[in-house]
Amino acid sequence: MSRKLYFTKWNYIIFIAGLILLFTGYYLMTIGPHDSFWSLTLSPVIIMFSLVVVFPLGILKNFKK
């Protein structure tokens, strides 16, 4: 019984890019004062973008021809 891999190399690359964006967003949340532009505005946008766009793209996109 053989198992087929449904994810390609590009799916894993997109998923890793999502992880990098997620960690970057959390890192930006920790630097500076709590009410700065980086921690209050930019980091939640980066985190939401990685969770709502990048991770589903890496999971749902089919790169096989």
Condensed to tens digits (0 to 9), the pLDDT of residues 18-47 reads 999 999 999 999 998 989 999 999 999 999
pLDDT number for residue 40 = 93
Do 42 and 29 contact (CB within 8 A), yes or no?
no
Q: Give CA separation, 24 vs 1, 15, 30, 39, 52, in Å.
A: 41, 14, 10, 11, 16
For residues 45 and 3, which has the higher predicted lDDT (pLDDT)?
A: 45
Grade residue 1 by pLDDT with cuts at 50, 70 and 90: low
Q: What is the pLDDT of residues 48-65, one digit of tens each?
A: 999 999 999 999 988 877
Kindly list the domain boundaries of the chain, sorted by start residue.
9-60
What is the pTM (predicted TM-score) of this model?
0.85
